[in-house]
Structure 1
Amino acid sequence: MDVDGVFFREWEARAPGERRSLRRARALADALGVLPPGVPVLTVVGSKGKGTAAVYASAYLAAAGLRVCTVTSPGLRSNRDRIRIDGRAVTTGELGALAETLERRIAGLPGRSDGYLSPAGLFMLAGLVRARRAGADAIVLEAGMGGRSDEVSLVRADVAAITPVFLEHAGVLGDTPAEIAREKRGVAGPGTRVVSAPQTDDVAAALEPAEVVPPGDPEFADVLPPGLGRTSAELGIAAARRLLGRDAPPARARDVLASVVLPGRLSAHTVPGSGTEVLVDSAIDRTGVRAALAAARARWGGVDHVLVCLPDHKDLDGAVAALDGLAVTFVRLPLPHLRFTRPLPRGWRVAEAAEVTPAAIAALGRRVLAVGTVYFTAAVLDAVDADTERVFVSAGARRPRGSGA
């Protein structure tokens, strides 16, 4: 069975200008019987840091003794990474079984007259099925691109966590950061408790009412990630606490949070068969690239080469400014929904994604920084054979209650 085909078939066959269909996604959810999910739901939206917030929220919930299903987008290395139970990715067999379930139900839907079923939406629905089969006590959903326009809006969120919002997907989600923020906040419904990372004044006004989580919580400061990821981690923990209505046991929470591993978020990896180390970060704007560069210099004292991959809708100008004077290779991905047409600095090399091999990375020097969109960092993680099987360890997690629906 072509497992990936089940999730990507309609998206790959979409017509120019065709949009995802929330109506068909809801019809599929009804056919699967996953709405309502029957357990508390925490949904994460925003422009940057959603994956970090989702993982730390999940880890905190697991530390409180809950069995947690986490759905993120896209995967770190493979599509199995998109759906996790207590931090562990689903197996190949489990993903295949979920694909079979979806394919049977999709076959019974009316024809696609108002749009396609998006991959992110289908993985979310597969995650809801997996949560029920695993006997999950809570679900953490990371939105794909939007909020109100995303399939996560079909699932009533008990808590919505909003990571920093900035101008991305302009003209699709909105023309200003405030418009984009309102679209993302649209994931919250009546009764949803909304918590937000600190935002710019215009975004904060658009998100009201929302509870702002101040940075610098000292309780777990020594086990949280450095740099910009800390804000998202703190937001995830705060959102999990709101969902629980209580605190997890402090010692257990510390142990589980300390076990969190975030490949592709300032993660360092040795390139197989070489003495090269690559620092991988999913930075997509000037601030993120500068932070990643500062982390690399703090680790190594300098940087030999930078691999960067930013499609047209990301902050390429900011990356160019941040990387001025460095040896840079710009990598293009063969994905039809990403465009790479903007002019590059004259001194930058250009490479295709297939050229990002262990040997090619090692040839760039002993200290290589790789930054860019998560699709690119996934390719780098794959090239260095990074371990993405488990993102946190929840010792003593309960066994599944049953096979479910």
Structure 2
Amino acid sequence: MPTGDQATAPLAARGYRLGVTGTFYAEWDRRGSGARRSVGRARRLARALGLDAAGVPVLTVVGSKGKGTAATYASACLAAAGCRVVTVTSPALREDRERIRVDGTAISADVLARLGRRVRDATASLPERRSGEGYLSPSGLFTLAGVLYARAAGADVIVLEAGMGGISDEVSLFPPDVLAITEVFAEHIGVLGDSPAEIAKDKAGVVTAATSAVISLPQRPAVTEAIASTVADRTGGRVKPEVIGTSGVPADLLPTGHGRRNAELGCAAADRLLDAIGCPRPPQERLNRVLSSVRLPGRLSWHHVAGTDTTLLVDSAIDRSGTAAALAEAYRRWDRIDHVLACLPDHKDVAGVAAELADLPVTYVRMPSYRHLRFTHAVPGHWTVVDDTELSRSHLASLGERILALGTVYFIGRLLDLADADTERLFDL
């Protein structure tokens, strides 16, 4: 990985899309204005790859926020039970190979390249994409590559994190044995639906007659009803969503802030999958040891910026409540915050975050190289506005010793890069 101030360039500009791994972004990069992903085209590609079905039990995580935390804890619990677990998440933290992990560890660059060649060759066998036809999305192609790898690696179970939706996402190509639903709110309004209830229907729509359990965090009444009716329709009333309160996992083994609920959801969903496949749950001592080792870079994680006196508290908060939780975590360790970095595209809760940050010094970071993200929302006049290309370790050091960084996961990845954070392994066995 690049180090020092050379780590300021966007991932694409640093060559991560060069060579065979660029296959995952080829149609995305050529998409026209207003184009959408094509799950149908992805289904044809899955068939070309011989993936008519996953062939391995699947635990799928959908929701508006916290999916990565739930997927990580589900994977850790399953691995503690002795299962070989392949986990597919979206997007990556620092490198694309982190999107596919086995027992918590990112696959190698060579393995990703081999998977990229398989995807490239299979894509070449498809009919040419017609004008106006949807594209093969990067997250969908990584999902297919992850399932392909799971088969080759002899995985016992697969954990899939939906990229954005549910039935409208490529995870729907592989019906879940167990579905976990994090909180659903007005994220992607107008894309997945015109209300949180409509969005919930899309996300719960991945359920099929083969699904044995649906586990959900507490939701707003309209969302709860939408999930229940969708699950009932798709399972003939056989499956009723289970709303979890607490999982029984000791609090000191769980993350702080909003992540705690999502972690508990992941643990509960893992238990249901183990029950469904007839695998004993892990011994408590082993489970506790594995869970105590879980690391969640970018989710209330602390990082020292090498060569400086600066420490970062990094969190992917994108709304007012998440920002409040991040501030509370910061003040548990610090008596002051020198500066806040915030990267919030227009579809995030810019106004809510601004209200929570009040009079703190803030730099608002835009990411113009990510052309699917818009940064036109008005921000407070006292905020400094910069592009992400201006960030460097020396720039961070100039802002102070105690910096809180909040925002979209792409931005969080940039900060983890600058801090040279360890994102290779998410838990130990």
TM-score (norm 2): 0.90
Task: Write the mapping of 1:34-53 to structure 2, written as runs, cut at 5 A.
Answer: 34-53=51-70
Instruction: State how far apart, in whole Å, the 2-side matches of 1:188 and 1:289 are.
Output: 32
Moved more, 116-125 or 197-206: 197-206
Q: Is the 8 A contact 2:58 2:160 kept in 1?
A: yes
Per-residue deviation, 1:31: 1.2
Q: State whether structure 2 residue 347 is matched by structure 1 residue 313.
A: yes
Q: Which residue of 2 aligns with 1:221?
A: 251
Q: Alignment partner of 1:317: what SS?
A: helix
Task: Write the mapping of 1:234-249 to structure 2, written as runs, cut at 5 A.
Answer: 234-245=264-275, 246-249=280-283
Amino acid across the alignment from 1:290: A
Amino acid across the alignment from 1:97: R
**Which of 150, 159, 168 does residue 131 from structure 1 map onto?**
150
Per-residue deviation, 1:35: 2.9
Q: State whether structure 2 residue 115 is matched by structure 1 residue 98.
A: yes
Per-residue deviation, 1:179: 1.0
Q: Is the 8 A contact 2:298 2:314 kept in 1?
A: yes
Instruction: State how far apart, in whole Å, the 2-side matches of 1:152 and 1:100 are.
Output: 21
Per-residue deviation, 1:220: 2.6
Task: Write the mapping of 1:253-402 to structure 2, written as runs, cut at 5 A.
Answer: 253-333=287-367, 334-394=369-429
CA RMSD of aligned residues (A): 1.0
Instruction: State how far apart, in whole Å, the 2-side matches of 1:356 and 1:235 are.
Output: 35
Q: Alignment partner of 2:249: what SS?
A: coil
Moved more, 64-73 or 21-30: 21-30
Instruction: State how far apart, in whole Å, the 2-side matches of 1:18 and 1:390 are.
Output: 35
Per-residue deviation, 1:3: 3.1
Q: Which stretches in structure 1 are left out of the alignment for 5+ residues?
A: 395-405
Instruction: State how far apart, in whole Å, the 2-side matches of 1:356 and 1:55 are.
Output: 29
Q: Which residue of 2 aligns with 1:120?
A: 139
Q: Runs ≥4 in structure 1, deviation > 4 angstroms? A: none
**Which of 67, 92, 117 does residue 84 from structure 2 map onto?**
67
Q: Alignment partner of 1:112: what SS?
A: coil
Summarize the Cα distance change of 1:35–1:256 in structure 2 as closer, same or farther, 3 Å threshold.
Answer: farther
What do residues 107-147 of structure 1 show as CA deviations (whole Å, max 9, x unaligned)? 00112132110000000001011111111000000001111
Instruction: State how far apart, in whole Å, the 2-side matches of 1:275 and 1:317 are.
Output: 31
**Which of 42, 47, 55 does residue 30 from structure 1 map onto?**
47
Q: State whether structure 2 residue 189 is matched by structure 1 residue 170.
A: yes
Per-residue deviation, 1:34: 2.3
Moved more, 196-205 or 327-336: 196-205
What do residues 337-379 of structure 1 show as CA deviations (whole Å, max 9, x unaligned)? 0000111100000111112211111111111000001000000
Per-residue deviation, 1:219: 3.0
Q: State whether structure 2 residue 267 is matched by structure 1 residue 250.
A: no
Q: State whether structure 2 residue 94 is matched by structure 1 residue 81.
A: no
**Which of 32, 38, 48 does residue 15 from structure 1 map onto?**
32
Instruction: State how far apart, in whole Å, the 2-side matches of 1:393 and 1:89 are.
Output: 13
Per-residue deviation, 1:263: 0.1
Amino acid across the alignment from 1:319: V
Instruction: State how far apart, in whole Å, the 2-side matches of 1:141 and 1:321 are.
Output: 35
What do residues 322-347 of structure 1 show as CA deviations (whole Å, max 9, x unaligned)? 11110000001120100001111000
Per-residue deviation, 1:188: 1.2
Q: Alignment partner of 2:345: what SS?
A: coil
Per-residue deviation, 1:247: 2.2
Q: Is the 8 A contact 2:177 2:273 kept in 1?
A: yes
Q: Is the 8 A contact 2:20 2:120 kept in 1?
A: no
Per-residue deviation, 1:199: 1.1
What do residues 234-288 of structure 1 show as CA deviations (whole Å, max 9, x unaligned)? 0000000000004221111111111100000000000110111100000011100
Per-residue deviation, 1:59: 0.3
Per-residue deviation, 1:218: 3.7
Q: Which residue of 2 aligns with 1:205?
A: 225
What do residues 22-81 of structure 1 show as CA deviations (whole Å, max 9, x unaligned)? 111011111111231211100000001000000000000000000000000000111111
What do residues 363-405 of structure 1 show as CA deviations (whole Å, max 9, x unaligned)? 11111000001000000000110000000112xxxxxxxxxxx
Instruction: State how far apart, in whole Å, the 1-side matches of 2:407 and 2:249 are.
Output: 31
Instruction: State how far apart, in whole Å, the 2-side matches of 1:190 and 1:306 are.
Output: 47
Q: Alignment partner of 2:225: what SS?
A: helix
**Which of 206, 213, 218 does residue 187 from structure 1 map onto?**
206
**Which of 152, 155, 178 does residue 159 from structure 1 map onto?**
178
Q: Alignment partner of 1:363: what SS?
A: helix
Instruction: State how far apart, in whole Å, the 1-side matches of 2:108 and 2:72 are.
Output: 18
What do residues 168-208 of structure 1 show as CA deviations (whole Å, max 9, x unaligned)? 11111111111111111111112322110111122111111
Instruction: State how far apart, in whole Å, the 1-side matches of 2:71 and 2:219 are.
Output: 18
Identity of aligned residues (%): 58
